Amino acid sequence: MLYVKAPAKINLTLDVLYKRPDNYHEVEMVMTTVDLADRISLESREDGVIEIISTDNFVPNDHRNFAYQAARLVKDTYGIGQGVSITIEKEIPIAAGLAGGSSDAAATLKGLNELWNLGLSIDELAELGAKIGSDVSFCVYGGTALATGRGEKIQELPAPPNCWIVLAKPKIGVSTAEVYGGLKVEGLEHPNTKQMIHAIETEDYELLCASLGNVLETVTFKLHPEVVMLKEQMKRFGADATLMSGSGPTVFGLVDSEARVSRIYNGLRGFCEEVYAVRILGERNTLA
């Protein structure tokens, strides 16, 4: 049995530049991993079957599951006869804008690389990940990065200034396809990605807070006004800066004072079940 952690990510910036001919959107995103993670366990089996077992009934156990797709891709690409039982212990909320499914797929790729002695590099695993979903390549690397293209082109960045992250997910799910489908690229107020990168590189926490931005908020806020309210409440309770992650509905707040973290956490728990206080991981994964 092999165990792999699958950490969540947040978007410090998310910009959409234009709609591409292949119907994907050209994006520019600064992302970082946080210390909230699913736990993936992998056990090889001789019958060739890919089995998904999850602690959460909302996690699909068939080809719709990104971890299943990762295992199928590895088997088909490298002619592996063995199967695998993949157990997913969920901690990351589902359909939350935190790349839970993508991170599960990335952890599966890394785990199978070891379990089946494939000897693939982290770059080769990231290339495989890009065939599964836009965030999977980033999740293979982890840490902090600028992601461009449809999200699969990854440029490593240093870890952001150390701070607390308070995450809160309202009791709704958001369709990423619906949000991107409702986005009007013309007239968008674009986040300053270069300024965010500068803030990270110079460890300027105040500039980092001032540089947060996510163009998808314009769509998700209209579809789900409760996300706007959650963001406002988080700011009112004392977060230094707030933003929606991905296509939502999770909102996060940056906090540089541990004393304020518990106040924000307890305040949000009054009307939101899924609240987490975590740290930024920031550093890139390596393959042992």
Tokens at 252, concatenated: 């996060």
The answer to whether 280 is annotated as binding is: no
Pair 32, 138: CB distance under 8 Å: no
Burial 58-77 (b: 16+ CB within 10 A, else e): ebebeeebbbbbbbebbbee
The answer to whether 21 is annotated as binding is: no
Active-site annotation holder among 15, 38, 104, 135: 135
Peptide bond into 249 cis (omega under 30): yes
Q: What is the signed CA dihedral for 124, 118, 83, 76, rounded to 10 degrees?
A: 50
Q: Tell me, rounded to whole angstroms, the distance of Cα 222 from its chain centroid.
A: 22
Active-site annotation holder among 9, 75, 110, 231: 9
The answer to whether 133 is annotated as binding is: no
Cα 170 from Cα 181, distance rounded (Å) = 22
The answer to whether 101 is annotated as binding is: yes
135 carries an active-site annotation: yes
The answer to whether 94 is annotated as binding is: yes
The answer to whether 238 is annotated as binding is: no
184 carries an active-site annotation: no
The answer to whether 85 is annotated as binding is: no
The answer to whether 7 is annotated as binding is: no
What's at 69, amino acid-wise?
Q
The answer to whether 103 is annotated as binding is: yes
User: Which residues participate in catalysis according to the annotation?
Assistant: 9, 135
List binding-site positions.
Answer: 93-103
- Binding residue ranges for ATP: 93-103
